[in-house]
Structure 1
Amino acid sequence: MMRKYFTYILLFGFPLFGCQNRPAEKSDYQKNWTLLEQENESIAFDADIKLSDAEKVLDEQLFQLRKQFLTETNKQKIPLFNRSFNEIKPLIEGNKLFEIFQSMPKGGLLHTHSGGITDVKWIIATARKYKECYVYDGTDNDQFIFGQLAFFEEGKEAKGFVSLNKKLLSDPGFEKKLADLLILKRDNLCTYTDYWIEFEKRFKRISLLLPYRPFFKEYYTKGFQDLVKNNVQHVEIRFIFDELYDFQHGKYPLKTSITDLQEVVKEIRKLNPQFSLKLIYSSFKFLDSKSIEKQLEIAFELKKEFPDTISGFDLVADEAAGNSVYSFRENWMKLDELSKKYGVKMPLFLHAGESNSVFNKNILDISSLDNPRIGHGLNLIYFPKTMELIRKQNKLVEVSPISNQILGYVSDLRNHPARVLLSNGIQCSINSDDPSVYGYEGLGYDFWVAFVAWELDVKALKKLVFNSISYSSLNESEKKKALLYLDRQWNDFVQKMNGKLK
């Protein structure tokens, strides 16, 4: 018996010693696990945020509300994360978290577009008030598409156009049909549709409304009022400049868009003195280098005259169909020369990486350009060295979760690339891109889907909100005032929510 025991010892060692070592091994394992967790947290985008006691209380409250909501949807077997925004929109609106995110101060909206910020039902109702407003009722052709709205002097309307008001009166179902033509819905994430084609049609249908000066003023007044109501204090619009006109004076100079918007903001500020606006001069990726050269000249001229309103330059349109950022390298190399000529700097705020493809390399240009913010940046995660450079350069990615889903870049929002960016220390902000085209207003919906799908906490929410002012194109003095205002609003929100959720 003893011989067998000694044989066992020789083969397997002393059991007693093994038992004595186990607690030490477990302790090392725990230490390594904790250390690794801390190291991961230390490089996250919100590592510098320290929550107050009140914020910690709110954090726990929001955690429980999300947990309850997800438990309920699981019980009802609702495939929450495998359905489109359009399908779950009523579910969002009926959820207590949505009310909280609607009332949460959101800082700035850094990524939105002219033509995509105002409620579609309002657009139809307001346009029909103008007797000179018409709608195209014919079949699509090279010039016009069904449902396209435009202003014409009486008797001078183009062929196929009928009075919008008369059409709505004679056909009670047309208002809903027109609204559906102006909103891009994705009812099923599995069905195939060329969503960029449909997306661009929505803009085309209102493109002839916006240059009409009386409507232009009303449109932006309503858009800014909606944002203020949704607790957005600053907005930066990728703005496509066009000559405004009316039928009394004809066309106005290009700068009239700026002076009219300044007047609109002045009116908004009478009741909301914190509200501010910047315009990012935008042109199109499908133009050639020579055309972009002319566009840059115009942008610099306007920035020289309106340095506090024009903040930078961008190129928009479908990245899969347009020219690469690199193809305009000669234009970017002339920016310093143009800066000296006009006495102003023109930072770039380029759309880049709005793609699922590793072959789209627009994101590679960003780290080499004066480009403090990136529009979308979805495929940045495929370029680890560039991601590291952008983190070191402290550049911000403007994330638009709902837009990304509707345009087909992300189906399950739990798998949104922004989750990878945030955990790797890339600074981001939450944006709505073109909310009216997607059938909603404000920023509350985008914060809701990010919070629920990305498992965010109050620490992350706070960083995302404050990033939107810290990385805005406000000047240092404006930024300081905006951050002080936001800090007060945020603290008030935390206190009120804690009282309400007790």
Structure 2
Amino acid sequence: MKRYLTYILLLGFPFFGGQNKMAGQSTYAQDWKLSEQKNEALAFDADIKLSDAEIALDKKLFQLRKQVLTEAETQKISLFNSSFNELKPLIETSRLFKIIRTMPKGGLLHSHSGGLADVKWVISAARKYKECYVYDQKDNEQYIFGQLAFFARENVPAGFVSLDKKLTSNPGFEKELQDLLTLKRDKLCTYTDYWVEFEKRFKRINLLLPYRPFFKEYYLKGFQDLAKDHVQHVEIRFIFDELYDFQHGKYPLKMSITDLQDVLKQVRRTNPEFSLKLIYSSFKFLDPKSVEKQLETAFELKKEFPDMISGFDLVADEAAGNSIYSFQKDWMKLNELSKKYGVDMPLFLHAGESNSVFNKNILDVSLLNNRRIGHGLNLIYFPATMEEVKKQNKLVEVSPISNQILGYVSDLRNHPARVLLSNGVQCSINSDDPSVYGYEGLSYDFWVAFMYWELDVKALKKLVFNSVNYSSLNKDQKKEAIVYLNRQWNDFVQKGNDSLN
């Protein structure tokens, strides 16, 4: 009996202790799983349920991501410490990019007038006009080297030469001009005042676009490129200017809208689902009185074209311009103007395009009738406002490549959008000014988001459908657009699975 008691003492207690240890491990595993589920439930795409076909595609895209990582390692490319410009050849040769190019993108909600059409095309198209000139002298207060413009022959300013003759006599100038119209961040560690260079790119073409014949050509090309990249809806932060030609002189401001409507009809001949909205845009560096006049003009145009003008924004470098708060008197007049003109004017303000907590523009967006936020990079520094934005169901328009090139984010794995998405803030993917950054369409931005943010098909699907659900389309238009997008998405999933078998 003593012997049995000895065995129980020696072996029994460890046995019971092992049971307690196993129970503890089981509880830990359960708690770990519960913690994972709680975090997943907070994510922006928690409501998405994938079909078997989507799950199959998800596994295949995961393998394609691994292939990119392997290829980068083989080529000794530092994937996470390289600029978009350095990675562009790798992106374009990857199977992942070929699949993403076939993916329906829904809507491009954040783009700018003057940032759509490919610069090679811009030079080629402008060259055909005998009245197109280029400034080939040193910068002065009025013009900068490489600036393009249309002039009547008798009114060409000093320093401008015929673009066609310049390119004919100096073929190498075409490549030089392409570089002058494109902003590249060649290395992540080099210093450049990117906003100064960015604004120079727009200055070099800002005298091209008001010329009415070129204006129509430009937007036709830009829209066709987007449609080719499976974008079905576009919203442009549009800077209104009086169009002109040399036969009639200047046209009324609304001619831009009627011409864009004509361009839209041309695009719809081959892409009947394609749609367009314009967000009337002014500048942050103007004073409140000037912005008040711009708001009045925006309301006048929206009253006449309620289906084209969707809202109002202020653009330009946030670090150099006035704060959104400084225009508070203008925002307080919105209701009065709405009653006067009989139309609503929601805001689509750029806010938080900054790395600094001292930039507090993001605080305004939860207090105003601001439906979407342009960039919103520093929203993560204001947790209460981030929660308000989430509660108010406002969307952040994210432009990853733009954010890297302009110097806000270097390693895109650290992009603030990853924090927003995991906290349930709704976002969409945008290209901002693709032609200025040296590419067309929206596929490149989806590629970098997928790779750097470790997304899956569920996240891609949510981002794509957000771009239509949070668009400025009216209720009936949105319903129709979603039906089309669903059909395109299902087709993409099927063909994607077939091509990756």
Same fold flag (TM > 0.5): yes
Distance (whole Å) between structure 1 residues aligned to residue 13 and residue 379 of structure 2: 54
Corresponding residue of 1:291: 290
Corresponding residue of 2:388: 389
Corresponding residue of 2:500: 501
Distance (whole Å) between structure 2 residues aligned to residue 171 and residue 177 of structure 1: 10
CA shift, 1:270, in A, is 1.5
**Residue 168 (structure 1) aligned with residue 167 (structure 2):** yes
**Residue 142 (structure 1) aligned with residue 141 (structure 2):** yes
Corresponding residue of 2:250: 251
CA shift, 1:76, in A, is 3.4
Corresponding residue of 1:449: 448
CA shift, 1:177, in A, is 0.2
Distance (whole Å) between structure 2 residues aligned to residue 382 and residue 18 of structure 1: 48
* Structural mapping, 1:273-288, within 5 Å: 273-288=272-287
* Structural mapping, 1:202-281, within 5 Å: 202-281=201-280
Corresponding residue of 2:83: 84
Distance (whole Å) between structure 1 residues aligned to residue 148 and residue 19 of structure 2: 82
Distance (whole Å) between structure 1 residues aligned to residue 164 and residue 417 of structure 2: 44
Task: State the SS of the aligned residue for 2:279.
Answer: strand
Look up the equivalent residue of 2:94 and give its one-letter code: N
Distance (whole Å) between structure 1 residues aligned to residue 164 and residue 74 of structure 2: 47
Show CA shifts across 1:172-229 (max 9, x none).
Answer: 1100000000000110110111000000000000000000000000000000100110
Corresponding residue of 1:482: 481
CA shift, 1:20, in A, is 2.2
Distance (whole Å) between structure 1 residues aligned to residue 160 and residue 71 of structure 2: 50
Distance (whole Å) between structure 2 residues aligned to residue 305 and residue 411 of structure 1: 44
Corresponding residue of 2:131: 132
Look up the equivalent residue of 2:323 and give its one-letter code: S
Corresponding residue of 1:407: 406
Unaligned runs of 5+ in 1: none
Task: State the SS of the aligned residue for 2:317.
Answer: coil
Distance (whole Å) between structure 1 residues aligned to residue 458 and residue 106 of structure 2: 15
Look up the equivalent residue of 1:448 and give its one-letter code: W
**Residue 314 (structure 1) aligned with residue 313 (structure 2):** yes
Distance (whole Å) between structure 2 residues aligned to residue 321 and residue 201 of structure 1: 15
Task: State the SS of the aligned residue for 2:149.
Answer: strand
Corresponding residue of 2:347: 348
CA shift, 1:18, in A, is 2.4
Relative to the length of structure 1, the TM-score reads: 0.97
**Residue 416 (structure 1) aligned with residue 391 (structure 2):** no
Task: State the SS of the aligned residue for 1:46.
Answer: coil
Task: State the SS of the aligned residue for 2:436.
Answer: helix
Unaligned runs of 5+ in 2: none
CA shift, 1:397, in A, is 0.3
**Residue 375 (structure 1) aligned with residue 371 (structure 2):** no
* Structural mapping, 1:33-182, within 5 Å: 33-182=32-181
Look up the equivalent residue of 1:339 and give its one-letter code: S
Task: State the SS of the aligned residue for 2:227.
Answer: helix
Task: State the SS of the aligned residue for 1:473.
Answer: coil
Show CA shifts across 1:151-181 (max 9, x none).
Answer: 0011310110000000000111100000000
Look up the equivalent residue of 1:473 and give its one-letter code: S
Look up the equivalent residue of 1:284 and give its one-letter code: F
Task: State the SS of the aligned residue for 1:131.
Answer: coil
CA shift, 1:68, in A, is 1.8
Task: State the SS of the aligned residue for 2:142.
Answer: coil
Distance (whole Å) between structure 1 residues aligned to residue 325 and residue 276 of structure 2: 30
CA shift, 1:263, in A, is 0.5
Task: State the SS of the aligned residue for 1:271.
Answer: coil
Distance (whole Å) between structure 2 residues aligned to residue 438 and residue 355 of structure 1: 19
CA shift, 1:14, in A, is 5.1
Distance (whole Å) between structure 2 residues aligned to residue 130 and residue 435 of structure 1: 25
Corresponding residue of 1:329: 328
Corresponding residue of 1:426: 425
Show CA shifts across 1:377-425 (max 9, x none).
Answer: 0000001111011011110000000000000000000110000000000
CA shift, 1:17, in A, is 3.6
Distance (whole Å) between structure 2 residues aligned to residue 114 and residue 244 of structure 1: 14
Distance (whole Å) between structure 2 residues aligned to residue 412 and residue 274 of structure 1: 36
Task: State the SS of the aligned residue for 1:254.
Answer: coil
CA shift, 1:16, in A, is 4.2
Look up the equivalent residue of 1:479 and give its one-letter code: K
Task: State the SS of the aligned residue for 2:141.
Answer: coil
Moved more, 220-229 or 264-273: 264-273
Look up the equivalent residue of 1:450 and give its one-letter code: A
Relative to the length of structure 2, the TM-score reads: 0.97
CA shift, 1:300, in A, is 0.2
Corresponding residue of 2:197: 198
Q: Across the two proteins, how many residue pairs are aligned to each other?
A: 494
Show CA shifts across 1:71-123 (max 9, x none).
Answer: 23224331011010011001100101111111110000000000000000000
Distance (whole Å) between structure 2 residues aligned to residue 434 and residue 355 of structure 1: 17
CA shift, 1:15, in A, is 4.0
Look up the equivalent residue of 2:200 and give its one-letter code: K
Moved more, 393-402 or 14-23: 14-23
Look up the equivalent residue of 1:201 and give its one-letter code: K
CA shift, 1:23, in A, is 0.9
Task: State the SS of the aligned residue for 1:78.
Answer: coil
Task: State the SS of the aligned residue for 1:436.
Answer: coil
Distance (whole Å) between structure 2 residues aligned to residue 45 and residue 20 of structure 1: 40
Distance (whole Å) between structure 2 residues aligned to residue 236 and residue 311 of structure 1: 9
CA shift, 1:19, in A, is 1.9
The percentage of aligned residue pairs carrying the same residue is 78
Distance (whole Å) between structure 2 residues aligned to residue 112 and residue 165 of structure 1: 30
Distance (whole Å) between structure 1 residues aligned to residue 347 and residue 85 of structure 2: 33
Distance (whole Å) between structure 1 residues aligned to residue 247 and residue 76 of structure 2: 60
Distance (whole Å) between structure 1 residues aligned to residue 343 and residue 283 of structure 2: 22
Distance (whole Å) between structure 1 residues aligned to residue 75 and residue 192 of structure 2: 30
Task: State the SS of the aligned residue for 1:192.
Answer: coil
CA shift, 1:287, in A, is 0.2
Look up the equivalent residue of 2:433 and give its one-letter code: D
Show CA shifts across 1:296-336 (max 9, x none).
Answer: 00000000000000000000000000000111111111100
Distance (whole Å) between structure 2 residues aligned to residue 350 and residue 45 of structure 1: 22
